[in-house]
Chains A and B, each alone.
Chain A
Amino acid sequence: GENVEQHPSTLSVQEGDSAVIKCTYSDSASNYFPWYKQELGKRPQLIIDIRSNVGEKKDQRIAVTLNKTAKHFSLHITETQPEDSAVYFCAASRGTYKYIFGTGTRLKVLA
């Protein structure tokens, strides 16, 4: 069935360092890949997304890369700050359809 694997499950980095989270999807028909940030007790918030016709997208300190052939995509956060600490979820979908979520990565940025 459809599946999204996400690694690592936890990640600790020093403030100012970079963080990378990787996801692999199984459904080759997936064409939309959002990333959500969820702070404790809060709703998931979209931070960046990428569609299958693009290989990379950047928004300030956040970037996402997509390798359709290998069916994996990654989130890159540069110059991490304490407020980046949260749980990050990747997802894959076929456009306006259900998301298949990864299991989440708990990022801790150490001051």
Chain B
Amino acid sequence: GAGVSQSPSNKVTEKGKDVELRCDPISGHTALYWYRQSLGQGLEFLIYFQGNSAPDKSGLPSDRFSAERTGGSVSTLTIQRTQQEDSAVYLCASSSGMTDTQYFGPGTRLTVL
């Protein structure tokens, strides 16, 4: 079946602008995760949604970052007033909530000029 999808695949924006990144998890997956991968670096946890529970926002680096998950499916990560240090690949993953395995999307490469 279809895997995790993300859009856009690439986003170039100017410093100070807001951006929205979208994630479509695998159908039926109740858990959704956002990670950030800076150039040549590992994956940094940002936020976690599980069903109808309050999200775990402990990884968000600043209050400029926020995320929503509507209807328990699609998620949007919003970065307000983007800064150059926000440039990275933003990866979304989902899991069934019954097993531990997370399946990753292709990522959105964000470049802030």
Specify whether A and B are partners: yes
Residues of A within 8 A of B (CB): 6, 32, 34, 36, 42-46, 49, 51, 89, 91, 93, 95-104
Looking across the interface, which residue of chain A has its beta carbon closest to that of B50? A96
A104/B105 contact (C-beta < 8 A), A96-B97, A98-B59 known: no
A44/B91 contact (C-beta < 8 A), A32-B100, A97-B48, A98-B48 known: yes
Q: Report the separation of the CA atoms of residues A66 and B26 in the bound assembly, to the nearest whole angstrom.
A: 30
Partner of B100, one of A6, A89, A95, A103: A95
A44/B104 contact (C-beta < 8 A), A103-B42, A104-B42 known: yes
Residues of B within 8 A of A (CB): 31, 33, 35, 41-45, 48, 50, 56, 59, 91, 95, 97-107
A98/B107 contact (C-beta < 8 A), A43-B91, A49-B101 known: no
**Is chain A's binding surface mostly helix, strand, loop or mixed?**
strand
Interface centre among B35, B44, B104, B105 (most CB of A within 10 A): B104
**Are B100 and A49 in touch, CB under 8 angstroms?**
yes
Q: Report the separation of the CA atoms of residues A32 and B50 in the bound assembly, to the nearest whole angstrom.
A: 18
Q: Report the separation of the CA atoms of residues A91 and B37 in the bound assembly, to the nearest whole angstrom.
A: 14
A46/B105 contact (C-beta < 8 A), A89-B42, A96-B50, A98-B48 known: no
Looking across the interface, which residue of chain B has its beta carbon closest to that of A2? B45
Q: Report the separation of the CA atoms of residues A95 and B102 in the bound assembly, to the nearest whole angstrom.
A: 10
Q: Report the separation of the CA atoms of residues A73 and B35 in the bound assembly, to the nearest whole angstrom.
A: 23
Q: Report the separation of the CA atoms of residues A72 and B3 in the bound assembly, to the nearest whole angstrom.
A: 31
In addition to A96-B100, A97-B56, A98-B59, 16 A-B residue pairs with Cβ atoms within 8 Å of each other are A42-B106, A43-B105, A46-B101, A46-B102, A89-B42, A91-B43, A95-B100, A96-B97, A98-B48, A99-B35, A99-B102, A101-B42, A101-B43, A101-B44, A101-B45, A103-B41
